[in-house]
Structure 1
Amino acid sequence: MVIIKFNLTYYLVSTNVWPEGPVITESLTLNYTIDMMIGELYVVTFVTAIKMTLDFLEEHKRVADLEKAQLETELLFLKSQISPHFFFNTLNNINSLALEKSNKTSKIILKLSELMRYLLYETKHKRQTLANEILCIQNYIDLEKVRHDEQLEVNMSISGSIQDKVIAPILLLSFIENAFKHGVNKNIGNVKIDIDFTIKEDFLYFTISNPMPSNTKHKKRFNKTGGIGLENVKKRLALGYNRNDYKLTIKSDKELFVVKLKIKVA
């Protein structure tokens, strides 16, 4: 580059190829060469820095997009963790009702259809209306009541306005399923589950309590993990919400297992 610059300047501009130099320069001297190389080095360094910066930004964007895709994939996987056994058992119950020619059959099929439609089509977005989430929970509870008949008592209360409130889809349903799986299916006799929705300003205060599993083996395992469903919920909360937007509390004693969730729904 120095040689090219020297020749272009010498033949096209002036024989004094270094007018800003200390002396008139009409040949390729060492001082001229060093000075020109330092100047070219500045240019090369500047261009290289720009190229490295652009490459870094492009790579950073690629990694960020990849992480986002991985998070979305993991969230979709976690949202699909509703137990298939619930659907199998419900279909078996519908079959029994159909054989008995029960009037409940069409009603149960409709509720199962609504629940499946919600799980298939209404959970694709990051947020769902709280009203739809509660309706989905009610359908789930109604189906469970058919399974357990009069042995199951569910008390659900709602206070505050649920209008214009949104929440991650089937997040609360995971708590409900967990309560039935461990609090109802693993207990003998009458079982009571209490569910409370309290909306204050931009936050939902959700509480659900169910009896501890009666079987000692199940009880020990449930005490340690709170169930696989709750572990999935913890991951979904961490992936989908900021730390200041929710608080999950899980407590248990010999009789009751209680879950409390404070979560932003604005």
Structure 2
Amino acid sequence: MLTNNSQILRIDFRLKYHVLFWILYFLLNFLRWGAYYDDYIYSFKSNLVEFSLHIAFIYFNIFILIPRFILKSRYISYIFIILFCLGLIYVLKTFLILFLISEDIWPEANIRYQPFGINHIISECVGELYVLTLASSVYLTMNWLRERERNRKLREEQIKIKLKNFENQIQPHFFFNTLNNLYSLSISNSDLVSSVIIKLSKLMKFVLYDVKDNSFVPLVRELEYIQNYIDIERLRFKNIEVITSINSNIEHIFVPPMIFITFIENAFKHGGYKGIIKIKINCNTENDQYFVFEVINNYVNSKEAFREGGIGIENVINRLKLLYQNEFELSQTSKLNYYIVKLKIPVNYEN
């Protein structure tokens, strides 16, 4: 019932525009030719005849000829039908004016013309084609604009669905890893389990309440989320050195949720050298246009770093492409015993 009502309202809304267009166009012609003839009664009657034929011809063209011939590339047939319609309209218009309004079928010529003169035929057909082109162009342009807007909304919905699918993949993946960490702690050191549970509850709160239905979240909240994850890993590993450096004002910056956590997870998973995990996190902005997130971690063998496919980095890249198209930079390099991941994305400020 709601769908039917919305369709009726949409049809009524479109009908109002059509009626408004023809009323304004009729008034323009009525005033123009009334002033030209200095006879507004004649102008009203002649335009009434003309517009009745205009409207029938134009909607016949829009709803029947264009879909059946133009859109199917049957151009020759379309041209012949248009020529036939022009001839028919000329005959109808001429006789209606001749028998209902005036014997002077072409007063603007300042010469008394007889019906079916070549000049009169050409003039009437050109005028009819002008109206046909104008009205059809307006209608088709409005349809094109509506279709473009519909396609834009459809693409946005598809992007949202894809992003949600990626996020839904990330969250179980992340919590699965965290629960594994919690399990390891429960075996080795039960005193730390309660602390991990508290940290984990904060992570879940962020995912369930802050991330839900949000394409972007405050960067400050995202960094808090990362810090909670790091705190959990600190409880799990003893020899960890993590330094976070923020070199810009980030209060009003928004970022995609959980876009950085994969880099941190990989730093812990594949990092470590001589029994010590060293991680450096750098956050800064460039010219107030880009936000740069960089993770540097030590490692033993570069071939082992990021060797696993699946969700991980590939998922991050897919999300970035959906959100920013080509307006981002992601690099992964190694230098000596350090692995460097650097992500550069456009700054999205709070409105």
TM-score, structure 2 length as denominator?
0.61
1:66: how far off? 1.9
Hey, what does 1:206 align to over in structure 2?
Answer: 293
What residue identity is the alignment partner of 1:90?
Answer: T
Instruction: Kindly provide the CA deviation profile for residues 118-170 of structure 1, in whole angstroms up to 9, marking residues without a partner as x.
Output: 123212323222221111001111222334x2244433344454433332222
**C-alpha distance in 1, partners of 2:251/2:100?**
79
Number of equivalences: 258
CA distance in 1, matches of 2:341, 2:257: 18
Partner SS, residue 126 of structure 1: coil
Partner Cα distance (1:47, 1:100) in 2: 80
Report the residue type matching 2:153 in the other structure: D
Please state whether the residue corresponding to 1:171 is helix, strand or coil. coil
Task: Work out whether residues 155 and 193 of structure 1, in 8 Å CA contact, stay in contact via their aligned partners in 2.
Answer: yes
2:230 is equivalent to residue 137 of structure 1: no
Taking a change above 3 Å as real, the CA distance of residues 95 and 257 of structure 1, as seen in their structure-2 partners, is closer
Partner of 2:242: 154
Distance 1:93 1:219 in 2: 20
The question of whether the paired residues in 1 share the 8 Å contact of 2:106 and 2:120 is answered with: yes
Q: Using the alignment, how far apart are the partners of 1:71 and 1:77 within structure 2?
A: 10
Q: Does the Cα contact within 8 Å between 2:169 and 2:311 map onto a contact in 1?
A: no
Question: Which of 141, 151, 158 pairs up with 1:53?
Answer: 141
1:108 correspondence with 2:196: yes
SS in 1 for 2:108: coil
Amino acid corresponding to residue 141 of structure 2 in structure 1: T
Say yes or no: does 1:17 pair with 2:105: yes
Query: The residue matched to 1:250 in structure 2 has which SS?
Result: strand
Q: Which has the higher contact order (CA 8 A, sep 6+)?
A: 1
Residues 247 and 129 from structure 1, CA distance in 2 versus in 1: closer, same or farther, beyond 3 angstroms? same
Amino acid across the alignment from 2:198:
L
Aligned partners of 1:82 and 1:177 also within 8 Å: no
* Matched residue SS, 2:207: helix
Root-mean-square deviation (Å): 3.4
Task: Select between 80-89 and 103-112 the one with higher mean Cα deviation.
Answer: 80-89
Instruction: Please name the residue that 1:82 is paired with.
Output: 170
Per-residue CA shift, 1:51-98, capped at 9, x if unaligned? 221222122212222222222233333334426454234324434655
Work out the CA distance in 2 between the residues paired with 1:6 and 1:214.
91
Q: Say if 1:77 and 1:25 are closer, same or farther in 2 by CA, change over 3 A.
A: same
Q: Distance in 2 between matches of 1:265 and 1:8?
A: 65
C-alpha displacement of 1:40: 1.2
Give, in angstroms, the shift of residue 110 of structure 1.
Answer: 1.7
Gap runs ≥5 in structure 1: none
Q: Which has the higher helix share?
A: 2
CA distance in structure 2 between the aligned counterparts of 1:70 and 1:153, rounded to whole angstroms: 41
Asked if structure 2 preserves the Cα contact closer than 8 Å seen for 1:93 and 1:146, the reply is no
Match of 1:197 among 267, 272, 283: 283
Asked if the contact 2:170–2:311 (Cα under 8 Å) also holds between the matched residues in 1, the reply is no
Percent identity, aligned pairs only, is 37
- Distance in 2 (CA, whole Å) between partners of 1:102 and 1:33 is 99
Q: Helix, strand or coil: the match of 1:15? A: coil
User: Could you report, residue by residue, the CA deviation over 1:146-201 in whole angstroms, capped at 9, with x for unpaired residues?
Assistant: 34x224443334445443333222222232123233336xx884322222334677
TM-score by length of structure 1 reads 0.78
* Aligned counterparts of 2:107 and 2:93: Cα–Cα separation in 1: 14
Distance in 1, matches of 2:113 and 2:284, equals 87
Letter of the structure 2 residue corresponding to residue 139 of structure 1: N
Structure 2 unpaired stretches of 5+: 1-88
Q: Give me the whole-angstrom Cα distance separating, in 2, the residues matched to 1:249 and 1:4.
A: 73
C-alpha distance in structure 1 between counterparts of 2:266 and 2:184, whole Å: 25
SS at match of 1:207: strand
CA, structure 1 residues 51+20, in 2 after alignment: closer, same or farther (shift >3 Å)?
A: same
Alpha-carbon distance in structure 2 between the residues aligned to 1:100 and 1:230: 31
Stretch of structure 1 that moved more, 24-33 or 113-122: 24-33
